[in-house]
Amino acid sequence: MCGIAGWADFERFPGREPQVLQDMTEAMACRGPDAHGCWFDEHVAFGHRRLSVIDPAGGSQPMTLEHLGATVLTIAYSGEVYNYRELRAELTALGHRFRTSSDTEVVLHAYLQWGTGMARRLNGMFAFAIWDARSERLVLVRDRLGIKPLYYCPAGRGLLFGSEAKAILAHPDVAPVVDRDGLRELLAGVKTPEHAIFRGMRELRPGHLLVFGREGRRIERYWALEAREHPDDLHTTVRTVRALLEDIVERQLVADVPLCTLLSGGLDSSVVTALAARSLAAQGTGPVRSFSVDFAGNERDFAASLVHESPDAPFAAEMARHVAAEHTNLVLGLGELAASSTRAVVPRAHDVPAALLGDAFASLYLLFRAVRERSTVALSGEAADELFGGYPWFHVPELRDADTFPWVAAGYDLLPALSGLLDPGLLADLDVEGYRAQRYTEALAEVPVLPGEDAEARRIREVGYLAVTRFVPMLLDRKDRMSMAVGLEVRVPFCDHRLVDYLFNVPWRMKFFDGKEKSLLRAAAGDLLPEPVANRKKSAYPITHDPGYDAALRAEFARLAGSPGTPVHALIDGGATARLGSANGWPARSGLEFMVQLDSWLADHDLAL
């Protein structure tokens, strides 16, 4: 998977300050535990941390391409291009010669052949930088869905970039400052494209590329969701979705290292696991390995809710038996989940506190840590709910039609949980509600229009667009940072842009044709699953229901509130401790979780607010 960092500057000479680049690269050491490298030219420097997945022996980076004895292109690359074999064959036919078997070298030659137009030819998850010595231009490219992160920051006449904010913050010219809009973004529960929380820093928008040269910088869009008439009937649509899923999963099983699936027992992860099991069996390389997460005492403590309909463990076990998977169910105890060392990992790895999903970050980190002991690559079911309409806000009119982001209407909102914990004067000054309303209006203005759509169809299109461009990125960030904190590559088959493009224009009557959530996905792949799994209702990523976890959070918050020397103390509502009460579970705990992580974040980053 890897991490990249770099610095281009036409007035300074980054090559004369090698320690700066080394510090930027080392800040992301966890993203690439297998190797590291630095490359310097007169006005540019690239750093790379490598997690070896494809061609471990030949894919070292930064990678260069020479012509007539001179280096003409250099790349620092993170991610996977799943159609690299086809591209390699096409480029070979055009006269290109390759010295490795890596997808990185294919991307380098693709740029040599097609320039920035090569971005449209890539299928995968990627973020990379290319230095074109012929034109003295830096080119940054990010995949269409934003699966892989890429940040940049102007610095004088130069430009810094990195896979994570911490790489840029390691540069001596960048101060870790979070202003009012940064805090608003953090608390609003939306992922505004390009916003990076830290002042002056930006995130390259998914489906975009940035070109930086002596004349300055420009940003180009190479992909976006488009509204088109759907030409297929229901039968053809079901067959098309099945064919796409089979092709996507087969492509994403390519790896030169151990691979597994993340299996919750829900429809999405079960479809991925079933398709992976079939493909591996056909190749003679099975059985599929699968992993799930559970919590000690969950049989006793579990309580159903709007977002957690049923516990995962029984369904994951049944699905694993159905496909004869080599399955591991990781059971997390209260001690390791509530440990301060576990909680501190989240803001350190994520570079910001976990605003919405609380302990779902910490448990995901612990799951990934266990998975990494046996596998280097994992396939996940992320984003199927957003594409096929699995969440309540696609079905419940008062949530779907609310004049805000639909997940906020459904309760994925940190503000109520922070009321009474965070200083009320600060909350009033930030006016997060006003900020969120502005961002909602901006997001709606982007939604592509299909002439003649009725009001309901248009609203479903809006909800789908908001989900793909504002909600999925939050989930992808969580998955990327928690997996990369342990050097695990997580692939997300449902984020293949071909599937996303196709489903965006499938009418709601087809996605919901039998009155059940995710009708289309069930019709396309339900035959691969046992009946209880195929018909299981949506249940979100699990959280612990142990009241001891909430008690531990309350105790930690009370300690911070009573300790004037802690970084977060000045931001706490003076009467918060007296009002804590004994409420358990999400969303009540999300405010406490945020405040505790906020303290760790402020301490680790030496922030100026």
Residues 270-311 pLDDT 10s: 999 999 999 999 999 989 999 999 888 877 777 666 566 788
- Nearest 5°: phi and psi at 202? -130, 160
What is the tens place of the pLDDT at every residue in 487-496? Answer: 999 999 999 9
Nearest by Cα to 528 from 342, 287, 319:
319
Pairing of β 70-81 and β 44-50: unpaired
Rounded to an integer, what distance in angstroms lies between the CA atom of residue 290 and that of residue 344? 27
Percentage of the chain with pLDDT > 70? 97
pLDDT tens, position by position, 26-76? 999 999 988 889 999 999 999 999 888 877 776 789 999 998 788 999 999
Distance (Å, whole) CA 253 – CA 396: 37
Helix residue ranges per DSSP H, 505-587: 508-511, 519-525, 531-534, 547-561
For the residues 85-92, what does the mean pLDDT come to?
Answer: 98
- Predicted confidence at residue 595, as pLDDT, reads 93
Gap between the Cα atoms of 210 and 511, Å rounded: 36
Catalytic residue among 2, 30, 260, 495: 2
3-state SS class at 334? helix
Least confident residue range of 197-206, 235-244, 507-516 = 507-516
Cβ atoms 524, 501 nearer than 8 A: no
**What is the token pair recorded at 534?**
């195929």
**587 upstream amide cis, omega within 30 of 0:** yes
Q: Residue 343 — pLDDT band, cuts 50, 70, 90? A: confident
pLDDT at 587 over 90: no
What's the pLDDT at 545?
Answer: 81
HSE value, Cβ hemisphere, 13 Å, CA-based, for 310: 15
Q: Is the pLDDT of residue 546 over 90?
A: no
pLDDT at 43: 94
Q: What is the pLDDT of residue 182?
A: 95
Please state the rounded mean pLDDT for residues 549-566: 91
Q: So what's the pLDDT on residue 306?
A: 59
Q: In which element (H, E) is residue 371 found? A: helix 359-372
Instruction: Kindly write down the DSSP assignment for every residue of 140-191, as one continuous string.
Output: EEE-SS--S--EEEEETTEEEEESSHHHHHTSTT---B--HHHHHHHHHT--
Contact criterion met (CB below 8 Å) for 152 and 583: no
With tokens 């840029």, the residue in question is 168
What is the mean pLDDT of the segment spanning 195-214? 97
Residue 531 burial class via C-beta count within 10 angstroms: exposed 0-12, middle 13-18, buried 19 and up: exposed
**Helix runs in 395-539, H state only:** 397-400, 406-409, 414-418, 424-430, 432-446, 455-466, 472-484, 497-504, 508-511, 519-525, 531-534
CA distance 4 to 48: 5
* 69 or 455, higher pLDDT: 455
CB 77 within 8 A of CB 128: yes
**Bigger pLDDT: 584 vs 369:** 369
User: To which residue do tokens 């998914």 refer?
Assistant: 206
Say if residue 585's pLDDT is above 70: no
pLDDT at 160: 98
| Model-wide pTM > 0.85 | yes
Q: For 233, which DSSP code?
A: -
For residue 85, CA distances in Å to 82, 92, 250 come to 8, 10, 13
Q: pLDDT category, 268, cuts 50, 70, 90?
A: very high
| Distance of alpha carbon 304 from alpha carbon 248, whole angstroms | 33
User: Is residue 2 annotated as a catalytic residue, yes or no?
Assistant: yes
Distance CA 389, CA 457 (A): 13
Q: Are strands 35-40 and 63-67 parallel, antiparallel or unpaired?
A: unpaired
| Most confident region among 325-339, 457-471, 592-606 by mean pLDDT | 457-471
Q: How many CB atoms lie within 10 A of CB 218?
A: 10
Averaged pLDDT, 321-335: 94
